[in-house]
Amino acid sequence: MIFRPFKSEWIKLRRRRLWYGSYGAIAGVVVMTTVVRIAGATHRVGSSGNLTLTQLARAGGLAQGVTGSTILLGAVSLSIAAAQFGGEFAHGTLRNLLVREPRRARLIVGNGLAILSFIVGAVAAATVVDIGAAFVMAHARGVTTAAWTSGTGMGDLGIAVGDMAIAVCGFAIVGMILGILLKSSVIAIATGLAVLLPVETIFTDAVPETARWLPGHLLEAVAQGGTSVAGFAAALVTVSAYLAGAVAVTLLVFARRDVTS
């Protein structure tokens, strides 16, 4: 009956402010990336590393707003997920939930799936808004969009959004794990963001090869459909193994721990 905790969590996710806040934040991040990238596109290949208008006009051009906002989307989803679970401890409502559903693993998995569906929904909604913004910007910069609407263009977008959804779920799972283990939204979000961003970067700055083994970088590689350091399949397999292990440990710890909040 994984469905009961799933439906129960959705009542909390329906909160209007959470809805506007997170759907707005995710759509905002994606649209902002698209706008900045198309606005900053150059006529010729330059030293800035910006895309050129010719590159933009290719089939993959429509997807780059989504692909380009991995870190920000990851940070937002990690925070939302950590806050949902951390909040149960902070409000002292977890004990009420556990009286109605004492099967703790079932509760966590059902609630977690609801949070993932919420975040995937946010990515999908952001994509729709982003497509609109991309066409408007393309029109403004005189980029031809024929390739975007081709079969290849739509396919590329689908793959980009799918990869991003997988990566974002990974970040959200990290957030949930930290929320449960650290029993606090704020501490979980701070820890998660610190480890995934600056701490990992310290390692990759010293030895770039470590990106192949660090979860944040692996999730980023998944979102981009693979990078030069970590291929898509390898990144997906490695990070899935990490997350599966971490989820198993979390469920075990949570099932045995005294509930004191």
Report d(CA 148, CA 59) in Å as an integer.
5
Chosen residue from 49, 198, 207, 258 binding another protein by CB under 8 A: 258
In the numeric block, the tokens 């870190």 are attached to: 71
**DSSP track, 122-172:** HHHHHHHHHHHHHHHHHHHHT---TTTTSHHHHHHHHHHHHHHHHHHHHHH
Q: Give yes or no for residue 112 binding another protein (CB under 8 A).
A: no
Q: Give yes or no for residue 99 binding another protein (CB under 8 A).
A: yes
Count Cβ atoms within 10 A of the Cβ of residue 55 and give its class: 0-12 exposed, 13-18 middle, 19 or more buried.
middle
Q: Give yes or no for residue 139 binding another protein (CB under 8 A).
A: no
Chosen residue from 100, 199, 233, 252 binding another protein by CB under 8 A: 100
Pick the closer one to another protein by CB: 99 or 202. Answer: 99
What separation in angstroms does the CA of 221 have from each of 43, 59, 61, 170, 236?
28, 21, 19, 12, 8
Report d(CA 98, CA 261) in Å as an integer.
11
Q: What is the DSSP letter of 146?
A: T
Q: Give yes or no for residue 4 binding another protein (CB under 8 A).
A: yes
Q: Give yes or no for residue 259 binding another protein (CB under 8 A).
A: yes
In the numeric block, the tokens 């979860």 are attached to: 215
Stretch that binds another protein, among 13-21, 160-168, 226-234, 245-253 (CB under 8 A): 13-21
The tokens of 62 are what? 């429509």
**DSSP track, 23-52:** HHHHHHHHHHHHHHHHHH-BSS--TT-PPB
Q: Give yes or no for residue 141 binding another protein (CB under 8 A).
A: no
Q: Give yes or no for residue 260 binding another protein (CB under 8 A).
A: yes
Q: How far is the CB of 140 from another protein (least distance, A)?
A: 40
Chosen residue from 20, 21, 52, 95 binding another protein by CB under 8 A: 95
Q: How far is the CB of 4 from another protein (least distance, A)?
A: 5
Chosen residue from 8, 42, 54, 201 binding another protein by CB under 8 A: 8
Q: How far is the CB of 116 from another protein (least distance, A)?
A: 18
Chosen residue from 19, 55, 101, 147 binding another protein by CB under 8 A: 101
* Site size for another protein (CB under 8 A): 30
The tokens of 131 are what? 């497509």
Report d(CA 20, CA 13) in Å as an integer.
11
Report d(CA 115, CA 6) in Å as an integer.
8
Answer whether 77's CB lies under 8 Å from 116's CB.
no
Contact flags string 217-256 toward another protein, x per CB under 8 A: ---------------------------------------x
Q: Give yes or no for residue 35 binding another protein (CB under 8 A).
A: no
Instruction: Report the candidate in 29, 64, 57, 30 with the shortest Cα–Cα distance to residue 43.
Output: 57
Q: Give yes or no for residue 87 binding another protein (CB under 8 A).
A: yes
Q: Give yes or no for residue 58 binding another protein (CB under 8 A).
A: no
Residues in contact with another protein by the rule CB under 8 A: 1, 4-5, 7-9, 11-12, 14-15, 17-18, 87, 91-93, 95-103, 107, 256, 258-260
